[in-house]
Amino acid sequence: MTQRGTLGVAVVGTGRMGADHVRRIDRVIPGARVAAVADVDAGRAAAVAAGVDGCSVHTDPAAAMAAPGVDAVVVASPGPAHEAALLTALEYGLPVLCEKPLTPDAAAALRVVRAEERLGRRLVQVGFMRRYDAEYLGLKALLDEGGLGRPLMLHHRHRNAASPPGFTDAMLVEDSVVHEVDVTRWLLGQEVAAVTVLRPRASGNAPEGLADPQFVVFETDGGALADVEVYLNCRFGYQVQAEAVCESGTARIGDAHGMLLNTAGRWGGRVAAGFEERFEDAYDRQVRAWVDATRRGEVTGPSCWDGYAAAAVCEAGVRAQVGGGRVEVALADRPALYA
Ligand SMILES: NC(=O)C1=CN([C@@H]2O[C@H](COP(=O)(O)OP(=O)(O)OC[C@H]3O[C@@H](n4cnc5c(N)ncnc54)[C@H](O)[C@@H]3O)[C@@H](O)[C@H]2O)C=CC1
Ligand SMILES: O=C1[C@@H](O)[C@H](O)[C@@H](O)[C@H](O)[C@H]1O
């Protein structure tokens, strides 16, 4: 570690999320600095690094990870590029915060799990940032405390104003619903055992080739059900809600972002514009927790196993999208490292 214990971070992928993480590490989070960035688009990497003191610019992720002053890595390239970056970071023995998904497919995720297992210690935290959101944390604490009885069902809503260009049906599961896979496993402490995907008539706002919205149902190994309405072109903003239905009560989060207002004969609140606004605090808390743990020599937060288990559920979800019906999730045995 450099500069009196300051963590030097290489950020791989300097697009929407990567650039935001560079800003966060450079200006918001104490104890860390951006030592290097890498992007296959050299111009984008250079633009993001401009104004960041002592930050080297690379097009090759491995070169950024080997650059002077780098102690740890944030991976924010697209999901299909994560496996290569993660295997390099593990080979170099560098702690990693990897944006979700760990990898889009289960086989690649399992290869990363096996590589970490061979090292015999955890180095990877997966960026399932909802686990750091105050509302989700409140819901988790309430369910764990048990006052409402056992949770029986979860209702999730995941709405984006517009999907990015080129978004596919598979990405709707692997990039978007993967969040609900993780929070379902985390809130209930159960694995998702089977997935069914239903599709209503597509919205006129959906781009050509994307069936949007979709309705996904998870059955867990503990006998609970969770449903996800995922609607990526709802136009009105970014909205993520969750309701737990328990034996003697229900609890719901995500109804309003910020203040509720009564005015001019109307009642209501604001809908966030995008995930950066809705989850700003969660991203900050996640990166702060990762930096703090890494400086202590620890690895905390969602693990490679969580990333693999989510990828296995998503793979079942994509098979359910293609073939229809109920698809069971195939999960490898959980290694002792993630007990
Ligand atoms: N936690 C959350 O709420 C969110 C997470 N994400 C995740 O963040 C990651 C990045 O997503 P976005 O920033 O939205 O994508 P983006 O497309 O805006 O940026 C990706 C960047 O990675 C670069 N890139 C592509 N292949 C690369 C490679 N092999 N090595 C290095 N750079 C490469 C691209 O040139 C681009 O600049 C994804 O894993 C995505 O799922 C994205 C949005 C929100
Ligand atoms: O992770 C994210 C994006 O990649 C994904 O495309 C969005 O649907 C999610 O809401 C956002 O949190």
Element (H, E) at 276: helix 275-278
Q: Which ligand is nearest to the CA of 171?
A: 2
pLDDT, average across residues 27-55:
97
- Is the CB of residue 103 below 6 angstroms from any atom belonging to ligand 2? no
pLDDT, average across residues 247-272:
91
Q: What CATH code is assigned to 131-276+312-328?
A: 3.30.360.10
The answer on pLDDT for 4 being more than 80 is no
**pLDDT score of 260:** 87
**Rounded distance between C-alpha atoms, residue 190 and residue 222, angstroms:** 6
Assign 259 a pLDDT band (cuts: 50, 70, 90).
Answer: confident
pLDDT tens, residue by residue, 18-37: 999 999 999 999 999 999 99
pLDDT tens, residue by residue, 127-184: 999 999 999 999 999 999 999 999 999 999 999 999 999 999 999 999 999 999 999 9
**pLDDT score of 329:** 98
Tokens for 76? 């924010």
Cα(80) to centroid(ligand 1), Å: 10
The answer on pLDDT for 6 being more than 90 is yes
Please give the C-alpha separations between residue 45 and each of 41, 99, 213, 219, in angstroms, as whole numbers: 6, 17, 34, 42
- Helices in 14-156 by DSSP H: which ranges? 16-27, 42-49, 61-65, 82-91, 106-119, 134-145
Cα 82-88-93 angle, rounded to 5 deg: 120
Sign of CA dihedral 106, 281, 235, 153: positive
pLDDT tens, residue by residue, 312-324: 999 999 999 999 9
For the chain, the structural domain boundaries read 7-130+281-303, 131-276+312-328
**pLDDT score of 204:** 97
Q: What is the dihedral of CA 293, 127, 305, 294, to 10 degrees?
A: -20
**Rounded distance between C-alpha atoms, residue 91 and residue 121, angstroms:** 12
Residues with Cβ within 8 Å of 16's Cβ and at least 6 positions away in sequence, in order, are none
**pLDDT score of 51:** 87
| ipTM at complex level | 0.99
Cα(176) to centroid(ligand 2), Å: 5
Assign 256 a pLDDT band (cuts: 50, 70, 90).
Answer: confident
Verdict on whether the full-model pTM lies above 0.90: yes
Class of domain 7-130+281-303: alpha beta
Give the binding-site residues of ligand 1, using a 6 Å CB cut-off.
12-18, 38-41, 44, 61, 76-79, 81, 99-100, 127, 129, 175, 275, 279
**pLDDT score of 7:** 98
pLDDT, average across residues 256-278:
90
Assign 304 a pLDDT band (cuts: 50, 70, 90).
Answer: very high
The residue whose CB lies within 8 Å of the most ligand 2 atoms, and thus the one to mutate among 168, 176, 233, 271, is 176
Cα(23) to centroid(ligand 1), Å: 15
Assign 2 a pLDDT band (cuts: 50, 70, 90).
Answer: low
Q: Which ligand is nearest to the CA of 99?
A: 1
Tokens for 238? 């970014």
